[in-house]
Amino acid sequence: MLHLILAESELEMVPGEIAGHPAIRSHARRRGKKPTEMLLDATYHHAAMRGLPDGEKRGRPDIVHISLLNALESILNKEGHLRVYVHTRNDEVITVKPETRIPRNYNRFVGLMEKLFIEGSVPRNLGLLRMEKKTLNELLGDISPDRVFVMHEGGRLVWGREFGETLARIDNPAVVIGGFPHGDFRRLPRGERVSVYWGSLMAWSVVNEVIVNLEAAMRIQSKAFSISKVKG
């Protein structure tokens, strides 16, 4: 089972200190919401975000959206070999059930995340998405993986196929991918730092590389097992 974690994801509600900014208030009026009941989004709120710490990195729900679509629609997930978690910059953890269907439309996804931040679980009766206050290290402690790999631009270069084969040999690995647009982790997670490319990649590209190469390695193992049974 692969545990895939989007860590320090730039997913948060509009902070109170910029809720009164004209750009925020204007967007809130258009949406018929209170400013602090909206997701922070750099597309609409960049003028207000200039005064925030790490303002150049924050407000990127799109990274989580695309990454979740790629992961949950993968063969690995459909075959029951994947668990996905989203850890946010403010130490919330979203546990995503494998059967969750993330809205393909970005605006609908934003509405779903806003509801999750307010209610803590959506839909309430199914809890396909569940949010709780938890650090990344606490999440890793709960998962208790056999090995932890942190995808990092400065990590040991391991080409995708080789990395997929490594993951396939481990019963319960965890792969941590930064859910932010650029820069480094604010608190580097524990684990082996690896990279599947010599340059920088967006989070959703890393998600694809990890999943597709693990799928390929698992198919190779399955084929080898079938052949050995026939020969036996």
State pLDDT tens for residues 44-90: 999 999 989 999 999 999 999 999 999 999 999 999 999 999 999 99
Tokens for 154, please give them.
């400065």
- CA dist 104 and 102 (Å) reads 6
Domain count, the chain: 1
Contact predicate 12/40, CB 8 Å: yes
Q: What are the structure tokens assigned to 187, written together?
A: 């608190």
Distance CA 40, CA 114 (A): 10
What is the rounded CA–CA span in Å between residue 4 and residue 7? 9
- pLDDT tens digits for 171-217? 999 999 999 999 999 999 999 999 999 999 999 999 999 999 999 99
Residue 230 has pLDDT above 70, yes or no: no
Q: Domain residues for 155?
A: 2-231
Which pLDDT does position 223 carry in this prediction? 55
CB-based contact 139:5 (threshold 8 Å) = yes
Element (H, E) at 139: helix 136-143
The pLDDT of residue 221: 60
pLDDT (mean) for 8-25 = 97
CATH number at residue 177: 3.40.1280.10
- 75, 164 contact by CB (below 8 A): no
The predicted structure's pLDDT at residue 220: 61
Q: What is the model's pLDDT at position 132?
A: 97
pLDDT at 227: 46
Contact 174, 147 (CB under 8 A): yes
Residues with Cβ < 8 Å from 111, sequence gap 6 or more?
A: none
Q: Is the pTM of this model over 0.75?
A: yes
Find residue 2's DSSP bridge partners: 82
